[in-house]
Structure 1
Amino acid sequence: MSFSNAKVLSEEPLENVHAVWTKLVKLNYRDCKGQLRTWESAERTTRPKSSGIDGVGIVAILEGPQGPRIVLQKQYRAPIDKICIEVPAGLIDEGETTEEAAVRELKEETGYVGKASETTPMMFNDPGFCNTNLRMVHVTVDMTLPENLNLQPQLEEDEFIEVFLVPLADLYEECKRFEAEGYAIDARVGTFAEGIEVAKRWKLV
């Protein structure tokens, strides 16, 4: 696998009737002063009927002699035509809980087997543009389990993911280094890294 092969070759308009995962909508709303306004929005069409959220992001931190390290991955993203530094993530399936989705996605994308330990409040990725939302799920990974020493990811045919670990203490500096090298930083990774720096600066822990 070579990420250098991935590249956007062309771009063209897409009508809602031909879209598989998303649609564009025009919203008519009343603002805080009672004035009528309109807004253009994108919406996912994949949200399960049994769920109030679209997907999950996964915080998996491995403990060991090297100190705590977070599980990250590189994945080419066509909308930005770049390789993105991300946490494992994915959409929720019908009838699946948030925690079940997180454990499943972690296994499929990285091979790590874990247990959900904490789930965050609902978050919106870009509320000025779309209604996509998610919950971050902290997953505990027991590195004494044989399956976590011999990782077996279960990627789909169109998934190309490179998994790697970064020391938590270095995450912010690593984000800056990745950006300088031409990678895109997923907001979940960047915000998590910045939160660690804020905690350091203000001695919150």
Structure 2
Amino acid sequence: MTETRRRGEALEAAIVDAVWAELAESGYAGLTVGAVAERARTSKAVLYRRWPGRAALVLAAMAHHAPTAEDVPDTGSLRGDLLALLRTIAAGASVRSIDALWGLLAETARDPELAALVREQLAELQRSGPVVAIMERAERRGEVDLARVSPRLLRLAPDLMRSELLVYGEITDAAIVEIVDDVVLPLVGV
């Protein structure tokens, strides 16, 4: 019996899972497109049709494993929702995440096209990611006026989380509470 050829979402899921597994096993520096193709049981040509190289594959895997708005419960308050999101992010942070972030930072410094791709993906998250959903829920509850929330402010909590991870190698619950209570909530007027 032959295996049915995977396409679309099934193939993409197999590929990003293979990238995630390769990152855990080999780290960013050791990750190769060939190893990902082999693990995903596909060809390098298939990977290169969708992604220009290793960094783009890693970005896709990180985006695939990032929390979505559906992953964050509605706790009934902006503070509770933000804490839940940041705790979800922290729970998913690992040595693999840190290694991948450092690898991507190094490559974006050398590759303007990759840097543009990273900015594009971050902008997409800013437009439709979990922080936006949380802020929209908070506005419906009357907690915040979205007209006063800038795009930079929507990025602030995830940006601070990345900084914690890169600089300190971990994200403590105390840091999460400080990011929400001392930085984000005062800036959105709560």
> Counting strand residues as a fraction of each chain, which structure ranks higher?
1
TM-score normalised per structure 1 = 0.27
TM-score normalised per structure 2 = 0.28
